[in-house]
Amino acid sequence: MIDRLDTRETESVPATGEAATTIRLETVVNGRPVSAEIEPRTLLLDFLRDRLGLTGAKRSCDVQVCGVCTVLLDGKPVSACSTLAYEAHGREVLTIEGLARFGELHPIQQAFMERTAIQCGFCTPGMILTTKALLDENPRPTREEIAAYLGGNLCRCTGYWMIIEAVEHAARLMAGEEDRS
């Protein structure tokens, strides 16, 4: 968190354009402290995509319905398209780019790959991050609980069945169970 912020590693991001009023945002993105001057109106999605180059969070509906811009803010899923960047001040943001550690995929990523829960891939980062929040809260969800939790993430390709399979598979992988089902 911010009180453990190591200034030597803080990435200082320059402001763009002729910003009138800016505020200083101090946050942690994917475990890395970030300090930036931003316009107050800056959306978290634009900050991540345009300022930090983290394009894994996508833009689609702009009204918090589709879920493709989902990132985790202190572990909870939020729609970055409808969240001000400043709301991340003093908090931790996790994007899809921060999920794999040193090239090793998270079991949820593994599960989505193995269960063909990915087609065009546009919903995938948001689906995976929402799944992470779900499984962190509830390691063995029922199918109904999975469907309820993922209700804010649309997918137009898969018909969802293989995504549900992948979430169940991920739960077993995270529990360290052999899963050959």
Partner 1 sequence: MSTLSHRPASTEPMGAAQGNGAQGLVGLSAPRVDARAKATGEAKYAGDLQIPGLAYGKVLRSPYAHARIVRIDASRAQALPGVIAVLTGDDVLDINPYYGHAIKDRPLIAIDRVRFVGEPVAAVAAEDPQTAAEALELIEVEYEELPAAITLDAALAEDAPRLHVTELLKPGLFHGLGELKPQPGNICYHHAFARGDVEEAFAKADIVVEGEYHFPAVYQYSMEPHTTIAQWGDGEITVWSSCQHPFLVRAEIADLFGLPVANVRIVVPYLGGGFGSKSYTKLEPLTVALARKARRPVRIANTVDEAMVTTRRHGMKAWMRTAASADGRLLAREVRCWFDTGAYADNGPRVVATGADAAPGPYRWEAVKVDSWGVYTNTSPAGSYRAFGATHLQWIGEAQVDEIARRCGLDALQIRERNLLRPGEAVRPGGKPLDADLIGDIQKVAAALDWGTPKPANVGRGLSVGLLAAGAHPVSTAFARLEADGTATLYVSSTEVGQGVRTVFSQILATELALPVERVRVQGGDTLVTPYDRSTGASRSTTLAGLAVQRAGQELRAKLLEIAARVFGLPEEAIELRDGAAWHEGESISYPDLIRAHFGMVGGELIGRGEVRPEKGTGSYAEGPVFWEVCIGGAEVEVDPDTGKVTVRKAVSVADVGKAINPRLVKAQEMGGWLQGLGNALFEEMIYDEQTGQILNATLFDYHVPTIADLPASFVSTIVENEDGPGPYGAKGVGEGALAGATAAIVTALYDAGVRVTELPATPERVWRWLRERDSAAAGGAQSARE
Residue numbers at the binding site for partner 1 (CB under 8 A): 16-18, 49, 53-63, 65-66, 68, 95-97, 99-100, 105, 109, 112-114, 116, 118-125, 128, 143-144, 146-148, 150-151, 153-165, 181
Least Å from the CB of residue 107 to partner 1: 11
Query: Given the complex with partner 1, which of 92 and 168 has the nearer CB atom?
Result: 168
Query: Given the complex with partner 1, which of 83 and 149 has the nearer CB atom?
Result: 149
Strands (E), 14-108: 23-29, 32-38, 70-73, 76-79, 92-94
Query: Given the complex with partner 1, which of 9 and 144 has the nearer CB atom?
Result: 144
User: Could you give the CA distance from residue 116 to residue 113 in angstroms, rounded to a whole number?
Assistant: 6
The count of other CB atoms within 10 Å of the CB of residue 76 is 12
Least Å from the CB of residue 4 to partner 1: 26
Q: How far is CA 148 from CA 83, 144, 161, in A?
A: 22, 6, 14
